[in-house]
Amino acid sequence: MQGLTDFGGRISAMNEDGRGFNFQHQLQLRQVEDRLKPEYVIDIDAYAQGIALGDTLKCLDSLHELAFNIFDWSLGEDARSYLRGG
């Protein structure tokens, strides 16, 4: 064995209203020239079940809000600073 190259996890949940999400994250070490470069990947999937056609746009707005809230929750201060350009 040469060492750990990736580590990740998954959180899945569903509300009583049929909205749910899958949050997956992974830390990967990739070989870049002569060193290992760490990369952190997150994947957020939000979904809803049993939605009437007429409620589609309202539902999409709520799913975008859910996905953003999960993304916001997943960030630490260093990541927030980096995304702000700091």
Model confidence over 38-82: pLDDT tens digits? Answer: 888 999 999 999 899 999 999 999 999 999 999 999 988 998 898
Residue 28 lies in a domain: yes
Residue 1 lies in a domain: no
The torsion angles phi and psi of 73, rounded to 5 degrees, stand at: -60, -35
Beta strands (DSSP E) in 19-75 are: 19-32, 35-48
pLDDT recorded at residue 1? 41
Are the CB atoms for 59 and 18 separated by under 8 Å?
A: no
Name the pTM for this structure. 0.74
DSSP state of 61: H
Residue 49 lies in a domain: yes
pLDDT recorded at residue 2? 62
Q: Could you tell me which residues come within 8 angstroms of residue 65 by beta carbon, excluding any fewer than 6 positions away?
A: none
Residue 71 lies in a domain: yes
Q: How many domains does the chain have?
A: 1
